[in-house]
Amino acid sequence: MDLFEKCYAPMIADEYRQAGIYPFFRALQTRQGPEVIMEGKRRIMLGSNNYLGLTSCPEVVEAGIQALEQYGTGCSGSRFLNGTLELHLELERELATFLRKDDVMTFSTGFQSNLGIISALVGRNDYMILDRENHASIYDATRLSFGKMVRFRHNDMGDLERCLQQVPETSGALIITDGVFSMGGEIANLPEIVRLARKYGARVMVDDAHGLGTIGEGGRGTASYFGLEKEVDVYMGTFSKSLASLGGYMAADARVIDYARHNSRPFMFSASIPPACAATALAALKHLEAHPELPVHLQQLSEYFRQGLKARGLQIRESQTPVVPIFTYQDVRTLVVAQKLYEEGVYVNTVLPPAAPADGCMLRTSMMATLTEALLDEAADAIEKVLNETPEQ
């Protein structure tokens, strides 16, 4: 059998392309702001994770330019050997202080952060207990670990307790959950997760990729939102969203971080974050620290948009975050609506199976602090018009 045979077999993507509703790999021609030029036309950007709008912040951009001039374009090696800059250490110190944790270590991407953290901490006889709607990188991380993976129904604390009861007393257990779930936008039931972790002697890890900068005191994330910063053992997060750069991090007790630095293969055998990315993440973090009103404004805009959609009679998935999903239910309808909106000048993301149930497909819209109410009204009008023109089949 030819290894490449599967590559030439028909794919669902081929059908979408032929129907003119393929929604992926749209090319930006400008910075990722509230309004962008995408494939030659102005679009309102409702499909970005640039939550605080800092990718265009002058001081953040300037920090990247200065780092390029001082350090060059890359580090050409891993942090473990020749790839550690003073800039990396400063970023880790600043982030540890902001998150109120002993220490932080950084990874080259957010995806790699989950791979590196989980594979380092979870051994052969340990258990990983996952929310079913966790990010794909968490699931891939379980494949790198020698531990046993058990899943509980999304935000179902009774099912989580059932999973914890399966863990032998001789095994360690790590409960892993998204803080803010990236597709639906809802927040994990962290108080109950922490209570059950205490009851069964488990540790807790929160993937806060979509929580940092969006919820919690000053944008400190999910644990801060619930007042549980001391109860969460490990934070994971990314720089590619609120911090307007590229990379990721682990925050935990100093000894746990030191162990991971010497046992995480994705960390030890990957080139370190390029200087410009480290500098822009650091500048964005300092900007957030100096402007704690930014997450508050973001939340206000998100609520404004939610209420505007409801006033227009549209069905949304409730959340308290900048992720505002709109139900479209059927997969083909979702793609048709997204294409029509794109033509109307509004860019959104599609949520299709397996990220959503077959009858629960959605348009995923996400807010930026730099959006305006006028732009949100314009986008909401377009969404109402297109959905009314595209009935369910």
- Which among 113, 119, 137, 182 is annotated as catalytic? 182
Sole residue written with tokens 């032929």: 18
Q: Which two tokens stand for residue 222?
A: 């999910």
Active site annotation includes 340: no
What's the CA gap between 309 and 318, in Å, rounded? Answer: 11
CA separation, residue 163 to residues 75, 156, 177, 188, 242 (Å): 43, 11, 14, 17, 33
Residue closest to 317 by CA, chosen among 347, 381, 362, 380: 362
Active site annotation includes 182: yes
Active site annotation includes 297: no
At residue 390, φ and ψ (nearest 5 deg) are -125, 80
- Which among 88, 101, 135, 210 is annotated as catalytic? 210
End-to-end distance of the chain based on CA atoms, in angstroms?
40
Strands (E), 221-277: 234-238, 248-252
What's the CA gap between 350 and 353, in Å, rounded? Answer: 10
How would you classify residue 365: left for phi > 0, otherwise alpha for psi between -120 and 50, otherwise beta?
Answer: beta
Residue closest to 160 by CA, chosen among 132, 121, 135, 118: 132
- Which among 241, 245, 270, 287 is annotated as catalytic? 241
Residues acting as catalytic residues: 182, 210, 241
